[in-house]
Chains A and B, each alone.
Chain A
Amino acid sequence: MTNDQLEWLPLSVPPQPKETQSEFFCPHCNKAAPVNADTCPHCGRPLILAAGLTEEALPEIALLERQLDIAPPPEDWFSGRGLDTPAMYDLRLQAERLYVTGGFERLICLDDINIDHYQYQLEAAQRALRDMGGRALLADEVGLGKTIEAGIVMKELIERGLAQTVLIIVPASLTWQWQEEMAAKFYEDFLVLEKLSQLSAPNSLPPKACRWIISYSRARSSAWAERLLAFEYDLLIVDEAHKLKNHRSKSYRFVDQIRKRYVLMLSATPVHNNLLELYNLITILRPGHLGTRRAFARDFIATPTALVKRRAYRRTIYSRPSVHAYLRKNRQARQEYRQKGDEAFRIVARTESLDEFLAVFLPKADAQPKAAIEEIRSLMPEGYDVVEFEGVEWRSWYRRRIDFVCRLRLRPKAKRPEPSRPDPRRRLRPQNPALVRALLREVMIRNRRSSVGVRFPPREAAIYHLTLSPPERKLYNDVTAYIREELRNVQQLPSGKRPAGGVLQLRLMTLQKQLASSPQAAVQGLEKLTAGQNDDRLNDYLALARSIEQGRKVKAVQTILEQYPHKTLIFTDYLASMRALNATLTASGFETTLFHGGLSAYERIEAVREFRNSAQVMISLRSGGEGHNLQFCRQMINFDLPWNPMIIEQRIGRIHRLGQKRKVRIFNLSVANTIEAYILELLANKIRMFELVIGELDLILGELAGQRSFESYLQEAWVGSQSEAELLQKIVELEKIITGARATYTQIRSTSDELSDILGGAES
């Protein structure tokens, strides 16, 4: 125990975004104009048009004939048989008057949802409903509650009878979280779609039964897509909508095809690389709002156009350290364009994949695409790979000729430690930011912490490094060795003879986690494993586990509570650990309260109340306390560490959330040379999760290669390791992947911040 020490993690504070003021120039007369003006004060022409780009008279239209449905009075009304007492009549009349709903000026659902009301969230919901017709991109910064805003909109539509069928598309890791939030905060039950059998024919289900949550990966698969597209949805919610940034992706096409009345897209980072990504999202919401893709690129994306134009004119190869190539010898294509070209300079295509580029661009450039492909490929220097293409059709104003340029950006294959991203500034900066901003304001709501005055209090995080007592260490090592051996045995079995559904594997992994939690939890796991079989080794482990009265972690918790005597929320994943911890703490004089799934709703409320009023410690299972306000507590201990970091984030989110006024302190217990210690190392020092705002972790994990979850990586490493050394090696590899994902996210965040700066006025 001499090595035990409390290590405070150095947490960096993310810089607050700076306030920016951008100039707005009238696109017609190019004079400065007020940002919010509808018409230019100099030339009087409209600054913002519905389609955004040109000035056209709006056509006269005829609405479809209104439908008036007049219900007849009940037959017994005039016979006098159905008469009721005046008192009952009075009650009914009062109730009917109260039951009337007005327009969206007033949100009627607010008191029927279990959330803290923040003005900016209510305003966002109201704007989405009233000003945007229920079709909006909610792009608040991470941690400001986009889910809440979407939930308010949903609840409002449901309560007004405007929406019954709702489909929510989310990343796989968030399906259950969404289900829980919808139930706990908005009292709406959703079904997480996992099996095709859950979907029957479109008209066979009552509309209320069509409230589903599905992951992207599942939804876009052809079998699911076909079934889901057969339904019409009143409301579609797309979380992490930046996953639809590529308009040619399956996900994009799927979402675009869904028949929907209202659409909410949620993304804190709607732009990762290119403003066209934002264009894609907006086009799903409002086709044509930003014009066509080509027009948008031409009119709003400043730098590429200017660069290409200049380079095309110079007819030179434009070199950059990592990017150069220039196709200029397609005379036949030039000839063709010269003959038929009557348009001025315009970008024909701008893509990020060779195949896509060729499909879009080459048919125009050459009548024989195959030959052209070969020509382009032959131009690529060896050892280089294609990053990006830009095809340009251009007519010089004085030479009266059409030119044809294809610009390739290449990067050396050898120097590719991680996906390189082009300079975001170059691709982000729109030509007329104020006009883009004005257009976006009609469909996008982006709240920033700086603008809504939300400041999260700082965090402190510490790792309490522990050394196990000899019997505990022996138990851990022996059982771990046993588990590895068993797993190996299972893997060596022919596939037909393995236990169905990976049950044994799951049990063994659970045992490993229990082992890391406490001896009492290990006893629970071992008992399950030994049930029905007489394995001497297991019996020995069981006896050893039972002989350990107090785990090292329990003692450590006691030390922390004595040293930091504040209200503390302790999370563990296992009931046995909870009981053991509770017994020890109670015996030591700490007043505790327990929170777990076995409590009724009333008991849960009582537990929270007890914690608020008297108990110093609440011991909770999983991410307990969801839907309850626990901001009166500012200290938490991760007694054991779930392999899914999202659960840890949820735990932190219970106390470090809007409304928390004091510094939050997070303690993590790390037992040397255990899987938990490795996980903690990855989370604390590689992902640096304790300095992330709630919500950011998912964005980082979303960047993991192959869209795999952190947990699956971890499981693979653990299951596939024959020894501790091998595990360590795999963990090091995982570290690299995580570091890459973190770097990518940092880049995306800075891109988003820059977008926010540029489009400052589009924010609420």
Chain B
Amino acid sequence: MIMKTFATSFFSHFGAKALPSETDILVVLPPDLEQVFGKPRLYLTFANEDPAQPRELSPNEDLLVYGSRTFDRMLALLEGRGATTHLQLPIRQPTELDLRLPFANAKATLVEDDYQQSVEPFYVFHFRATYIWAEKEEVFITITLDGAGAQHPHRSELLGRGKVFGAPDESEARKIDAALLRQQFERAQKIAQAQVAERADALEEIIKTRLRQILARLKRFYGRLMAEITSDNPARNEAARADLEADLQRKQADELERHRLRIQLAPVGYAVMLVPFIEHRLSLSCGQQTSRLTLRRDLHTGWVETFSCQPEIESITDLAFSSFKDRFRAQGRFAELCAENALLCREDALHSVLAVAGTKVEAPDAPEQVCRDAQRYIWRRVEAARWVIYLGQRRGSKALSPVLGRLLVMLDQEGNVIKRRKVGAVSRLLGRVFKR
């Protein structure tokens, strides 16, 4: 399917008429491509899902798969082109951020103090890592960085999927700083190198196991051959042993060389992606308590950026805040602060988070990692089911242990289900959860 998408985009781009059917594509080539492909029309067919199934080709069909001649010719046409570009992501959301998010408690009020629209560059770099030993493996690495150098892996998924974005207008393009671009490239290259090193370590472990056996076998084999030299002529024996020793050395050296891991890391291309953002400064008040909250929303995807420590959760589109009265007594924390808290307080937050998620953690060995895992677990669920997150802080609840009571994180499948519950009901519910 990916190949078919590529073929359609490719031939359309080069001025051919691509007429896709359910399985194939008929391509009517323009004169310049006719010369390249040697015929006026291509009947492109694609690989079977099951590689073991034989493919019967009719005389005119051109199989378009990795390594096929047609594919190679297409690649040749792209040689030296399309490596770098500037992209402008269009605004797809309404410019006014709709903040009427589902509230759990009508007593809380949310006021938008201010907002500001901006365009921010993201730097997407592509590398190809090739690992060669007795085998060969290639990995396509994409590193996406923001202006500050933080990674945003989700962003690159928008690219190279057959969806073409426009180029930025000149004024925006001029703002792209070449020095910063180079700086970010170097940073991305270092990150890619680290990824390559990680993979190389894993591969070398595999290689080492295999090589160890080979070298042991050779050593044993030649050792025995030498032991079997038993003629009466010591000079001849010595010469034969020397020959075998030399042969062994050569073979060992060959094997070592054959199992040396060679890695090539080559930059393939980059795109500077200009992304429209809107930043809202909000006030959330409940009774006497007021908290300030800043929300950034990507105007192309609609993603809300809330947790600076967790760029992976950009795809959250809805947030809700509980306004239970006592949540805000001790300067209640909101989303991003909460996440920070989770990193800072570690165990407490983690225990509560994981307990709610139904997993008990005794003592995390690497709190930060567990924290990330826990959050990712929750956020993933949030992302998948559009759950509503309730954040708040509670002290002295009898239903909760003191540790857990410090930070309350509760999830539910549907916001409206929780919405109908009273504080007590929620506490009882949580109490049941934690007691279990």
Within 56-72 of B, Cβ neighbours of A (below 8 Å) are at 56, 58-59, 63, 65-69, 71
Contact A51:B220 (CB < 8 A) given known A99-B66, A602-B59: yes
Q: Given B138, B208, B233, B271, which contacts A63 in the complex, CB threshold below 8 Å?
A: B208
Measured in the bound complex, the distance between the Cα atoms of B130 and A162 in whole Å is: 12
Interface string of A88-115 (1 = CB under 8 A from B): 1111111111111111101111111001
Q: Report the interface size class on chain B.
A: 35 or more
Q: Does A71 lie within 8 Å of B264, measured CB to CB?
A: yes
Q: Does A101 lie within 8 Å of B136, measured CB to CB?
A: yes
Contact A95:B208 (CB < 8 A) given known A59-B215, A609-B59: no
A488 within 8 A of B: no
Contact A92:B218 (CB < 8 A) given known A69-B262, A78-B181, A110-B51: no
Distance in Å: Cβ of A354 to nearest Cβ of chain B? 19
Q: Does A289 lie within 8 Å of B217, measured CB to CB?
A: yes
Q: Given A72, A87, A107, A602, which contacts B164 in the complex, CB threshold below 8 Å?
A: A87
Q: Does B84 lie within 8 Å of A117, measured CB to CB?
A: no
Q: Given B82, B138, B166, B215, which contacts A102 in the complex, CB threshold below 8 Å?
A: B138
A70 within 8 A of B: yes
B270 within 8 A of A: yes
Q: Which of A290-298, A454-462, A694-702 contacts B (4 or more CB under 8 A)?
A: A290-298
Distance in Å: Cβ of B152 to nearest Cβ of chain A? 17
Interface string of A345-367 (1 = CB under 8 A from B): 00000000000000000011001
B residues in contact with A66, CB < 8 Å? 200, 204, 260-263
B430 within 8 A of A: no
B residues in contact with A54, CB < 8 Å? 220
Q: Does B232 lie within 8 Å of A77, measured CB to CB?
A: no
Distance in Å: Cβ of B85 to nearest Cβ of chain A? 4
A85 within 8 A of B: yes
A724 within 8 A of B: no
Q: Does A96 lie within 8 Å of B259, measured CB to CB?
A: no
B301 within 8 A of A: no
Q: Does B263 lie within 8 Å of A67, measured CB to CB?
A: yes
Q: Given B63, B74, B138, B163, which contacts A95 in the complex, CB threshold below 8 Å?
A: B74
A412 within 8 A of B: no
Measured in the bound complex, the distance between the Cα atoms of B78 and A103 in whole Å is: 25
Within 126-170 of A, Cβ neighbours of B (below 8 Å) are at 129-130, 133-134, 159-162
Measured in the bound complex, the distance between the Cα atoms of B85 and A413 in whole Å is: 86
Residue of B whose beta carbon sits closest to that of A286? B217
B residues in contact with A98, CB < 8 Å? 2-3, 6, 66, 71
Measured in the bound complex, the distance between the Cα atoms of B67 and A101 in whole Å is: 10
Interface string of B268-283 (1 = CB under 8 A from A): 1111000000000000
Measured in the bound complex, the distance between the Cα atoms of B65 and A111 in whole Å is: 7
Q: Does B213 lie within 8 Å of A50, measured CB to CB?
A: yes
B residues in contact with A629, CB < 8 Å? 56
Q: Does B221 lie within 8 Å of A94, measured CB to CB?
A: no
Q: Given B56, B81, B136, which contacts A92 in the complex, CB threshold below 8 Å?
A: B81
Q: Does A71 lie within 8 Å of B266, measured CB to CB?
A: yes
B224 within 8 A of A: yes
Distance in Å: Cβ of B41 to nearest Cβ of chain A? 13
Interface string of B326-344 (1 = CB under 8 A from A): 0000000000000000000
Q: Does B137 lie within 8 Å of A96, measured CB to CB?
A: no
Main secondary structure of the interface of B (DSSP, over half): mixed
A502 within 8 A of B: no
Measured in the bound complex, the distance between the Cα atoms of B217 and A364 in whole Å is: 28
B residues in contact with A84, CB < 8 Å? 81-85
B135 within 8 A of A: yes
Measured in the bound complex, the distance between the Cα atoms of B38 and A271 in whole Å is: 50
Interface string of B346-377 (1 = CB under 8 A from A): 00000000000000000000000000000000
Contact A112:B160 (CB < 8 A) given known A117-B51, A117-B54: no
B residues in contact with A51, CB < 8 Å? 216-217, 220-221
Distance in Å: Cβ of A738 to nearest Cβ of chain B? 37
Interface string of A174-204 (1 = CB under 8 A from B): 0000000000000100000000000000000
Distance in Å: Cβ of B32 to nearest Cβ of chain A? 16
Q: Does B256 lie within 8 Å of A85, measured CB to CB?
A: no
A residues in contact with B56, CB < 8 Å? 629
B13 within 8 A of A: yes
Q: Does B182 lie within 8 Å of A103, measured CB to CB?
A: no
Measured in the bound complex, the distance between the Cα atoms of B85 and A92 in whole Å is: 11
Measured in the bound complex, the distance between the Cα atoms of B86 and A89 in whole Å is: 9
B residues in contact with A286, CB < 8 Å? 217
B residues in contact with A294, CB < 8 Å? 228
Q: Does A292 lie within 8 Å of B85, measured CB to CB?
A: no
Interface string of B1-41 (1 = CB under 8 A from A): 01101100110010000000000000000000000000000
B residues in contact with A15, CB < 8 Å? none
Distance in Å: Cβ of B168 to nearest Cβ of chain A? 10
Q: Does B269 lie within 8 Å of A93, measured CB to CB?
A: yes
Q: Does B134 lie within 8 Å of A133, measured CB to CB?
A: yes
A383 within 8 A of B: no
Within 51-85 of A, Cβ neighbours of B (below 8 Å) are at 51, 54, 56, 58-61, 63-74, 77-80, 82-85
Q: Does A288 lie within 8 Å of B221, measured CB to CB?
A: yes
A residues in contact with B159, CB < 8 Å? 89-90, 93
Contact A103:B54 (CB < 8 A) given known A91-B6, A287-B221, A288-B220: no
Distance in Å: Cβ of B89 to nearest Cβ of chain A? 10
Measured in the bound complex, the distance between the Cα atoms of B162 and A99 in whole Å is: 16
A605 within 8 A of B: yes
A119 within 8 A of B: yes
Measured in the bound complex, the distance between the Cα atoms of B222 and A79 in whole Å is: 59
Within 173-224 of B, Cβ neighbours of A (below 8 Å) are at 176, 178, 181-182, 185, 189, 193, 196, 200, 204, 207-208, 210-222, 224
A residues in contact with B59, CB < 8 Å? 602, 605-606, 609
B residues in contact with A119, CB < 8 Å? 52
Residue of A whose beta carbon sits closest to that of B136? A160
Q: Given B53, B75, B82, B216, which contacts A88 in the complex, CB threshold below 8 Å?
A: B82
Interface string of B228-265 (1 = CB under 8 A from A): 10111100000000000000000100101111111111
A residues neighboring B (CB under 8 Å): 50-51, 54, 56, 58-61, 63-74, 77-80, 82-104, 106-112, 115-119, 122, 129-130, 133-134, 159-162, 187, 259, 261, 286-289, 291-292, 294-295, 336, 363-364, 367, 602, 605-606, 609, 629
Give 5 new A-B contacts, CB below 8 A, not counting A66-B261, A86-B166: A61-B212, A68-B193, A88-B13, A96-B268, A100-B138
Pairs of residues from A and B, 8 with the lowest C-beta to C-beta distance, nearest first: A288-B221, A92-B82, A93-B160, A605-B59, A88-B82, A89-B85, A111-B65, A50-B213
